[in-house]
Amino acid sequence: MPQQILLLSGNVSSGKTTLSESLRLQYDHIYVLKTKVVIKELARKKLGKDIEAERRALQEFGTRLDEETKGQWVRDALRKLISKVDSEDPEAIVVIDAVRIREQIKAIRKAYGYLVRHIHLKTPLDTLERRYKRRKDSGLEELGSFSDVAADSTEVRVGELEKIADAVIDTKLCTKKDVLAKASRYLVFHARDNGRLVDVVVGGQYGSEGKGHIVSYLAREYSMIVRVGGPNAGHKVFFDEGPYTHHQLPSGTLRTNARLLIGPGATVNVERLMKEIAECNVNKDRLFIDPQAMVISKEDVEKEAGLKKRISSTGQGVGFATARRITDRGKQINLAGMIPELKPFTQRKASDLLEEAYCNGDRILVEGTQGIALSIYHGQYPYVTSRDTSTAGALAEAGIPPTRTRKVVMVCRTFPIRVQDPKGGTSGPLEQEISWATVAKRAGLNAAKLNRSERTSTTDRRRRVGEFDWDLLRQATVIDGPTDIALTFTDYLDAQNEQARRYEQLTTDTIKFIGEVERVAKAPVSLISTRFDFRSIIDRRRW
């Protein structure tokens, strides 16, 4: 599988071929798929002869292919190219010059998900006309003018692709080097060094901030993903066919081929972990569980029954297993390395694997669980979990020193939540609590649908909701020290945000809200989730 697939769109003469060639010459591991070459090859197969090397003939046959395959012919050509380069170059980046309709893009995104980036080159009509007159060595017999080119039914609609692109580059006043510089920032390369290789994702509120969604998006950039915590935290990942909730494995498991590590500070439910391993088709060569991870017993789960009512605990036995790890020192307790079912995955210590990764210059992503307001030390005691949910806590559980840390991404919801206990218990205070009906009315969302979706991943309980807590944001940044903020549920601010693919497409009030978050957090809002879908994250990172 390639590292990345870059789709280029734009009108004829907007600079797509110039950009694809510049990328190929500038960087290693770039492979260019030229759709005009594919059209010629398919025409030869279908018609039994070469079509004329003329612009109009290519346009017309390309339109015919789109109609016959619903745009999937480009995806099929891409698959053939990937099958050729996959085994030879694991760092390959494939550039498609070019996509012309939505259906082509949709088919490729469905097949390759987060690997796909789409850049649209935008150019005014008068500039296109001037450039077309100067075209040389295109390998085609060109038409008389750009107006003749633009008369094609598909070419007329190419400009609409700007709305769904990940990035738009206006090439009017740009040299080819300028366009290359702008486009290059959207390429993903594996950095090779032995310094600060670790990035951490943590929750900035009471959990359920959407960390799994963020980790799933970022995972493609890492060679190893580390999960800490226990099965009391469910992290939901979204696919076209529906969501999948990870309780023990990292949230990037189904998105990448990265190695997976469950750290020594984690707490595992063996039966549920083995079920998740089977469902995700993970083998012993990919998953590693530190032999000292703590195992939850049936008695641990039974003993937590009282906590369900007192503090709305999930009752998964994590707290009592953690306590036993301390109180039963010197007694016979079960760690992961002692469990027969886990033996294939517990043959190596986390510290050895991490040291190996450092030496290789591998990027590592640590996935924290729950949120800072539930930390056993820093949360609102007694309504807390059994572990430290801070950045430092996640690193400690994984066995990673602070000096290895590069980025800390703190995930925050636009409306924080706490679990609701139907039996009369409480999960603790929630500042300025409101109803889901209020959130729905403000944003223009369907209240019934919102109520159905806002249930916990682990226990399927209803969630309470409150106004954004600015003081909690301030406190969280003091403890977690984020370099970046990931803001989720921006559609809860305004339903119009669901359609945003770029920052400038968010509503004015949402952009103001983000600016205020950045001022209070003293960190940039680098990732913005507009809804829960595999393509719903606006990426503003500079790293």
| Rg (the chain; Cα; Å) | 26
How open is the CA angle 529-530-536, to the nearest 5 degrees?
A: 75
Please tell me the distance from the alpha carbon of residue 470 to that of residue 521, in angstroms, as a whole number: 9
pTM, to two decimals: 0.84
Mean pLDDT for the stretch of residues 433-443:
93
> Cα(183)–Cα(418) distance, rounded to whole angstroms?
41
Per-residue pLDDT at 478: 97
pLDDT value, residue 519: 97
Cβ proximity of 145 and 6 under 8 Å? no
321: three-class secondary structure by DSSP:
helix
Give the Å distances, CA to CA, from 185 to 119, 195, 351, 539.
Answer: 11, 22, 33, 11
* pLDDT at 422 exceeding the cut of 80: no
The beta-strand segments (E) located in 362-514 are 364-367, 405-413, 417-419, 433-434, 463-466, 484-488
Distance CA 59, CA 363 (A): 44
Among 172-181, 310-319, 477-486, 517-526, the least confident range = 310-319
- 152 compared with 353, residue with greater pLDDT: 353
132 pLDDT band, cuts 50/70/90, is confident
pLDDT of residue 119: 96
pLDDT of residue 456 exceeding 70: no
pLDDT number for residue 44:
84
- Note the pLDDT tens digit of each residue in 185-218: 888 764 444 689 999 999 999 988 999 999 999 9
Q: Is the pLDDT at 311 greater than 60, yes or no?
A: no
393-419 residue pLDDT tens: 999 999 999 999 999 999 999 999 988
Residue 271 has pLDDT above 60, yes or no: yes
Q: Is the pLDDT at 232 greater than 90, yes or no? A: no
Alpha helix positions (H), 361-495? 391-398, 436-443, 447-453, 470-480
Cβ neighbour number for residue 350 with a 10 Å cutoff = 24
Residue 143: count other Cβ atoms within 10 Å of its Cβ.
18
CB-based contacts of 104: which residues, under 8 Å, 6+ apart? 66, 71, 72, 74, 75
CB crowding 96-125: b at 16 or more within 10 Å, else e: bbbbbbebbbbbbbebbbbbbbbbbbbbee
Nearest Cα to 122, choosing from 263, 224, 16? 16
Of 494, 427, 485, nearest to 459 by C-alpha is 427
Examine the pLDDT at 314 and tell me if it is beyond 80.
no
Q: Give φ, ψ of 508 to 5 degrees.
A: -60, -45
Percent of the chain with pLDDT over 90: 60
Edge-to-edge strand list for the sheet holding 30-34: 30-34, 93-97, 4-10, 116-122, 167-170
pLDDT in tens, 363-391: 999 999 999 999 999 998 888 888 999 99
Quote the mean pLDDT of the chain. 88
The top-scoring range by mean pLDDT among 28-42, 299-313, 503-517 is: 503-517
User: Which is more confident, 298 or 313?
Assistant: 298
- pLDDT on residue 192: 46
Query: For the stretch 518-535, what's the b/e string if a residue is b when 16 or more beta carbons lie within 10 angstroms of its beta carbon?
Result: eeebebbbbbbbbbbebb
Does the structure show a pLDDT above 80 at 460?
no
Among the residue ranges 452-456, 527-531, 535-539, the one predicted with the least confidence is 452-456
pLDDT of 221 over the 70 cut:
yes
Phi, psi of 355 (to 5 degrees): -60, -40
486-517: per-residue pLDDT in tens? Answer: 999 999 999 999 999 999 999 999 999 999 99
Compute the distance between CA of residue 410 and CA of residue 483 in angstroms, rounded to an integer.
Answer: 8
pLDDT band, very low/low/confident/very high, at 298 (cuts 50, 70, 90):
confident
Q: What's the rounded Cα separation, in Å, for the pair 12 and 132?
A: 8
Q: Is the pLDDT at 88 greater than 50, yes or no?
A: yes
Top mean-pLDDT range of 126-135, 162-171, 294-303 = 162-171
Residues 298-318 as b or e (16 or more Cβ within 10 Å = b):
eebbebbeebeeebbbbbbbb
Contact 405, 395 (CB under 8 A): yes
pLDDT at 312: 52
Distances (CA, A) of 529 to 64, 275, 280, 317, 526: 37, 30, 25, 32, 10
pLDDT score of 32 more than 80: yes
